[in-house]
Structure 1
Amino acid sequence: MQFGIFTVGDVTPDPTTGRTPTEHERITAMTTIALKAEEIGLDVFATGEHHNPPFVPSSPTTMLGWIAARTERLILSTATTLITTNDPVKIAEDFAMLQHLSGGRVDVMMGRGNTGPVYPWFGQDIRQGIPLAIENYALLHRLWREDVVDWEGRFRTPLQGFTATPRPLDGVPPFVWHGSIRSPEIAEQAAYYGDGFFANNIFWPKEHFQRLISLYRERYAHYGHGTPEQAVVGLGGQIFMRRRSQDAVREFRPYFDNAPVYGHGPSLEQFMAETPLTVGSPQEVIDKTLTFREHFGDYQRQLFLVDHAGLPLSTVLEQLDMLGEILPVLRAEFARNRPADVPDAPTHASLVARRAEQAAEAAR
């Protein structure tokens, strides 16, 4: 079971002071948070991709490359790579390069994003979001696995005898998660390729995501990749902790009430009751996080959002220290009674080993 954090990179005023960090301060804070993630023993740091204010992570591979040079074991991921508006050729080359620079410590989460204006900025039509996601990933999948690609589709110019460079490290592409909060077509896509499905269940009630994850598991088995229980699932979550739950609620409330995505909507209490958001003591975070396995089955990756809504860097680092304290408990509890045939989250090393096993079997 992998544990990590993800950031959306919002530049949001601190509602308690009125101060807004500069873009430089926010970018620097994100890298500081990533280094802290490795320090406290987390497995994954993931950054979103946005091309509009108030967000700053427009170039995830640049940021992840910087972090790769300063870490040793942290898995570097995206929380969204826009498969709809990025050229699949550029994605193939950027992430293969990042693989080489990081020694294989990289995977990627494909998503459509939730900002409509991005599509025309990059010459695309939002009404074609699903077809773009399907076609672009089909091309990307081939670019990483075939040395020479001939290809023709609807949304970009054809390729003739094209080779993406560099080739994936050790001949093994980065592991791909397909992220979604609402689209069964994306769950189907993840299942078809035998990739991971990341349900970023931070906004809606669990019943919605139970349906998406169940669909993915069923279709994963349908396509012959394994049993439904062996499908590779990741989940999102949001936490804010203090030693006393009442202190956590009191401190976090103004940030929640003014958050750019869900502020000025449901109350904090209603949102906590209906979504994975946990604001309380460390034990309350442990208890609620453990319910995710009850709702969705055994899964492979848990990412928490901890640095949004204007929270100052000092507070986020305190949150990470507390997360580091409860991390051993979460690891032990999720490992308890975990079926032996449920796989771990793929890593570069495990994918290389699996390819070697498959080659050996084919040679027999």
Structure 2
Amino acid sequence: MQFGIFTVGDVTPDPTTGRTPTERERIKAMIAIAVKAEEVGLDVFATGEHHNPPFVPSSPTTLLGYIAARTERLILSTATTLITTNDPVKIAEDYATLQHLADGRVDLMLGRGNTGPVYPWFGQDVRRGIELAQENYALLRRLWREDVVDWEGTFRTPLQAFTSTPRPLDGVPPFVWHGSIRSPEIAEQAAFHGDGFFHNNIFWPAHHTRRMVQLYRRRFAHHGHGRPEDAVVGLGGQAFMRRNSQDAVREFRPYFDNAPVYGHGPSLEDFTEETPLTVGSPQQVVERTLAFRETVGDYQRQLFLMDHAGLPLKTVLEQLDLLGEEVVPVLRKEFAKGRPAGVPEAPTHASLRALREVPAA
């Protein structure tokens, strides 16, 4: 099972000091966080994609390419690549290039994003978001799997005898996760293609997450990709830790109360009761995360959001020390217990290449 972190790259004032980091400071902080993630033994670093303030990761491949040069083992991913407003041709080229630079340590999570105004900025209609996601991904798959593509669709100009360059490393496209919080059409899309499904359940109660993942698993089997338990599932989560749980609550409360996304809404106590947010000791984070298996079954990837809401870099790096030293080692051991032998591991470039090299029977 893979463990890692994802960032949305928000530039948010620290409510305890009033200071807002510069965009440069925030971008540099994201790099430091990724390097630290590898240092403490995590498997994955994922960045979001946003094109509006107060967010800075508008160019994920630039950021991940730089991180690739600073790391050796870390899998580099996105925590959404906007399949609706990016040209599939550019996605195919950019992420294949990143594959070569990172020696295959690349996958990506496709999604529609949650910012409506981004659609007209890139010449699209938000009311056609699902259609855009479906058509653009169908083209992306062909661009990565066919050397020469003839194609005509609704949302971009036709392609005639087109070859996307560079070709995917070793002839193996990056593994794709389809990320969605609330759209069953995206769970169906992931299932139809036999891809991964990532439910970023940071705002949602367990019963909603269960329904979405169960739908994906059923449809994965329906489309002939294997058993429901063979489906590849990832989850998001949030945590803030101190060794003493009361200290964690006291320190995190002003960040929660003023966060751009959920600040000035439900209380910290209500939010932690209804969603996967865990504020407390490392042991409490372990126990809460292990309970996710009761919701979705055995799964392949767990990512945590830890660098948002104005938390200073020093604090985030301390969180990563706790995650890498006291949480993830226990999670690896406990999740391995009772895991059925047939449950697949999270796909990697090496495992996908090995499958491709197996001769046909």
TM-score, length-normalised on structure 1?
Answer: 0.98
Q: C-alpha separation between the residues in 1 aligned to 2:43 and 2:282?
A: 19
Secondary structure of the residue that 2:229 maps to in structure 1?
Answer: helix
Q: C-alpha separation between the residues in 2 aligned to 1:348 and 1:225?
A: 19
Residue of structure 1 equivalent to 2:250: 250
Q: C-alpha separation between the residues in 2 aligned to 1:94 and 1:309?
A: 30
User: How big is the shift at 1:361?
Assistant: 2.1
- What amino acid maps onto 2:360 in structure 1? E
Q: C-alpha separation between the residues in 1 aligned to 2:16 and 2:164?
A: 49
Secondary structure of the residue that 2:108 maps to in structure 1?
Answer: strand
Residue of structure 2 equivalent to 1:349: 350
Instruction: Map residues 62-141 of structure 1 onto 2, 5 A cutoff.
Output: 62-141=62-141
Asked if structure 1 preserves the Cα contact closer than 8 Å seen for 2:51 and 2:58, the reply is yes
- What amino acid maps onto 1:300 in structure 2? Q
Q: C-alpha separation between the residues in 2 aligned to 1:299 and 1:92?
A: 27
Q: C-alpha separation between the residues in 1 aligned to 2:214 and 2:295?
A: 11
For residues 302-338 of structure 1, the C-alpha deviation after alignment (integer angstroms, 9 at most, x for no partner) is 0000000000000000000000112111100011110
- What amino acid maps onto 2:168 in structure 1? P
Q: C-alpha separation between the residues in 1 aligned to 2:44 and 2:243?
A: 25
Residue of structure 2 equivalent to 1:313: 313
Instruction: Map residues 260-275 of structure 1 onto 2, 5 A cutoff.
Output: 260-275=260-275
Please, which moves more after superposition, 325-334 or 121-130? 325-334
Instruction: Map residues 40-51 of structure 1 onto 2, 5 A cutoff.
Output: 40-51=40-51
Secondary structure of the residue that 1:340 maps to in structure 2?
Answer: coil
User: How big is the shift at 1:110?
Assistant: 0.1
Secondary structure of the residue that 1:238 maps to in structure 2?
Answer: strand
- What amino acid maps onto 1:118 in structure 2? V
Q: C-alpha separation between the residues in 1 aligned to 2:222 and 2:356?
A: 22
- What amino acid maps onto 1:181 in structure 2? I
Q: C-alpha separation between the residues in 1 aligned to 2:207 and 2:152?
A: 39
User: How big is the shift at 1:209?
Assistant: 1.2
Residue of structure 2 equivalent to 1:195: 195
Asked if structure 1 preserves the Cα contact closer than 8 Å seen for 2:293 and 2:299, the reply is yes
Q: C-alpha separation between the residues in 2 aligned to 1:328 and 1:83?
A: 34
RMSD (CA atoms):
0.5
**Identity fraction in percent:** 82
Asked if structure 1 preserves the Cα contact closer than 8 Å seen for 2:209 and 2:295, the reply is no
Secondary structure of the residue that 2:164 maps to in structure 1?
Answer: coil
Residue of structure 2 equivalent to 1:15: 15
User: How big is the shift at 1:204?
Assistant: 1.2
Residue of structure 2 equivalent to 1:295: 295
Residue of structure 2 equivalent to 1:361: 360
Q: C-alpha separation between the residues in 1 aligned to 2:131 and 2:178?
A: 15
Secondary structure of the residue that 1:344 maps to in structure 2?
Answer: coil
Q: C-alpha separation between the residues in 2 aligned to 1:35 and 1:25?
A: 15
Q: C-alpha separation between the residues in 2 aligned to 1:8 and 1:202?
A: 12
For residues 168-213 of structure 1, the C-alpha deviation after alignment (integer angstroms, 9 at most, x for no partner) is 0000000000000000000000000000000000001111111110
- What amino acid maps onto 1:346 in structure 2? P
Please, which moves more after superposition, 205-214 or 2-11? 205-214
Q: C-alpha separation between the residues in 2 aligned to 1:72 and 1:272?
A: 35
- What amino acid maps onto 2:127 in structure 1? R
For residues 151-174 of structure 1, the C-alpha deviation after alignment (integer angstroms, 9 at most, x for no partner) is 000000000000000000000000
For residues 34-82 of structure 1, the C-alpha deviation after alignment (integer angstroms, 9 at most, x for no partner) is 0000000000000000000000000000000000011000000000000
For residues 130-167 of structure 1, the C-alpha deviation after alignment (integer angstroms, 9 at most, x for no partner) is 00000000000000000000000000000000000000
Residue of structure 2 equivalent to 1:160: 160
- Runs (4+) off by over 4 Å: none
Q: C-alpha separation between the residues in 2 aligned to 1:351 and 1:239?
A: 32
Residue of structure 2 equivalent to 1:30: 30
Residue of structure 2 equivalent to 1:332: 333
Secondary structure of the residue that 1:202 maps to in structure 2?
Answer: helix
For residues 249-298 of structure 1, the C-alpha deviation after alignment (integer angstroms, 9 at most, x for no partner) is 00000000011111100000000001000000010000000000011100
User: For structure 1, which runs of at least 5 residues remain unmatched after alignment?
Assistant: none
- What amino acid maps onto 1:144 in structure 2? W
Secondary structure of the residue that 1:110 maps to in structure 2?
Answer: strand
User: How big is the shift at 1:245?
Assistant: 0.4
User: For structure 2, which runs of at least 5 residues remain unmatched after alignment?
Assistant: none
Residue of structure 1 equivalent to 2:215: 215
For residues 10-51 of structure 1, the C-alpha deviation after alignment (integer angstroms, 9 at most, x for no partner) is 000000000000000000000000000000000000000000
Q: C-alpha separation between the residues in 2 aligned to 1:209 and 1:102?
A: 32
Asked if structure 1 preserves the Cα contact closer than 8 Å seen for 2:197 and 2:232, the reply is yes
